[in-house]
Amino acid sequence: MTDVERTVVFLDLTRFTALTDIHGDETAADIIDRFVAAVQTEVDGRGRLVKTLGDGVLLDISDPAVAIEVADRINHRLHRETGMPEVTGGITTGTVIERGRDILGTTVNLAARLADLAPAGELRTTEQAARAAASAGWRVEPLGPTDIRGFHESISIFAVRLCHPEDCTTDPVCGMRLTPGDDTPQIDHDGVARWFCSAPCLERFRSAPGRYLA
């Protein structure tokens, strides 16, 4: 086992369980294959794909600036494809334990927890990655000390937006990224337009909007 400092990136597909339930296993498997292919292409030469985790990936990157670049490139590659959900993620830098090709430790656990907190089209990061993102011209918002499940003390985290809201229209039920048109299912909820990939997603939202906006 080797103890080294690395930048750890968790990236996940938004609302993948709901997407699978609505669109079926074959569509979900195809989306995962395209997601992993995009990750492998963009991480090559910049870091490594440690492992896939269902609808997510764990990446081992040398430093936070490169991690931000990789996340950006993956996001842009997925935006060029149709029928893909938005990506969320968590990035943190710190000591990890290398065990074979795997990495373990508090830094890895924190990156996973940050990914759980991120909404569609955003990252949650610690300070090093936030500074790198700001230097690259990204929109960064400090969220202050935050209680993270499993960690005794609050941790200062930052929101990094992968794309602007007008570029991140997503179905709130299944997470599918949309380009709204005249025939796209839509309703106004609390004064906000909500768009859906299909009538079934619209009906699910209509029956329990609070479930999907939590």
pLDDT tens digits, 161-193: 876 555 567 788 887 777 677 778 888 988 888
Average pLDDT over residues 49-63: 93
Give CA–CA dist 88/101, Å, rounded.
24
Q: How far apart are CA 157 and CA 173, in angstroms?
A: 27
pLDDT band of 146, cuts 50, 70, 90: very high
pLDDT for residue 119 = 85
Per-residue model confidence (pLDDT) at position 17: 85
CB atoms within 10 A of CB 19: 25
Q: Decide which of 16 and 105 is more confident.
A: 105
> What mean pLDDT is reported for the chain?
88
Range of 37-46, 137-146, 171-180 with top mean pLDDT: 37-46
Alpha helix segments (H runs only) across the chain: 16-23, 25-43, 64-79, 106-117, 127-135, 199-207, 209-213
Among candidate residues 211, 164, 174, 165, the one with its CA nearest the CA of residue 192: 165
CB atoms < 10 A from the CB of 41, how many? 11
pLDDT of the residue at 50: 96
User: What is the pLDDT at residue 64?
Assistant: 94
Judged against a pLDDT cut of 70, whether residue 201 lies above it is answered with: yes
**Could you tell me if 145 and 54 are in contact, meaning their C-beta atoms sit under 8 angstroms apart?**
no
Amino acid at 45: G
Q: Dump pLDDT digits (tens) for 104-127.
A: 999 999 999 999 999 888 899 999
| Superfamily of domain 2-167, CATH level 4 | Nucleotide cyclase, GGDEF domain (3.30.70.1230)
Q: Report d(CA 35, CA 91) in Å as an integer.
A: 18
pLDDT of residue 83: 79
List Cβ neighbours of 35 (8 Å cut-off, separation of 6 or more).
13, 55, 57, 78, 84
Average pLDDT over residues 17-36: 89
Q: Which pLDDT belongs to residue 81?
A: 81
For the entire predicted model, the pTM comes to 0.79
pLDDT > 60? residue 71: yes
Give the whole-angstrom CA distance, residue 204 versus residue 197. 12
Express as a percent the part of the chain with pLDDT over 90. Answer: 47
